[in-house]
Amino acid sequence: MSRLLFWLALAVLVVMAVRSKLRGAGSGPAAPSRRAPPEPPAIETMTSCAHCGLYFPASEAVRADGLDYCSPAHVRLPAK
Ligand SMILES: [Zn+2]
């Protein structure tokens, strides 16, 4: 009888372990709490416009002559 209880307890432990693993898999790296905040957005490199000095994400930059500009209009204007 105690053998049966042992296997029953083992089965319950295995089910609990699998459940907690499945729950953790959906929310990124093994977070200890279920209320972990969502991952912060990737930090993007910032650059400044060579004409007006405005800071903006480098991915939106208009590049000309090795300089970054905020818009195609400022490419045509002289750099400061
Ligand atoms: Zn500009």
**Res. 75: pLDDT tops 80:** yes
Instruction: Tell me how far apart the alpha carbons of residues 53 and 59 are, in angstroms, rounded to a whole number.
Output: 16
What is the percentage of the chain residues whose pLDDT exceeds 90?
Answer: 59
The predicted pLDDT at position 80 comes to 66
Query: Could you give the 3-state DSSP secondary structure of residue 55?
Result: strand
What average pLDDT does range 34-48 have in this prediction? 81
Q: Would you say 49 and 74 are in contact if contact means Cβ atoms under 8 Å apart?
A: yes
Structure tokens that stand for 80 in this block: 């400061």
In a domain, 50, yes or no: yes
How many angstroms does the Cα of residue 43 sit away from the middle of ligand 1? 22
The predicted pLDDT at position 7 comes to 94
Which residues constitute the domain of residue 55?
46-75
The size of the chain, in residues, is 80
In a domain, 7, yes or no: yes
How many angstroms does the Cα of residue 50 sit away from the middle of ligand 1? 7
How many angstroms does the Cα of residue 40 sit away from the middle of ligand 1? 28
In a domain, 38, yes or no: no
The reported pTM is 0.46
Name the residue type at position 77. Answer: L
**Res. 44: pLDDT tops 70:** yes
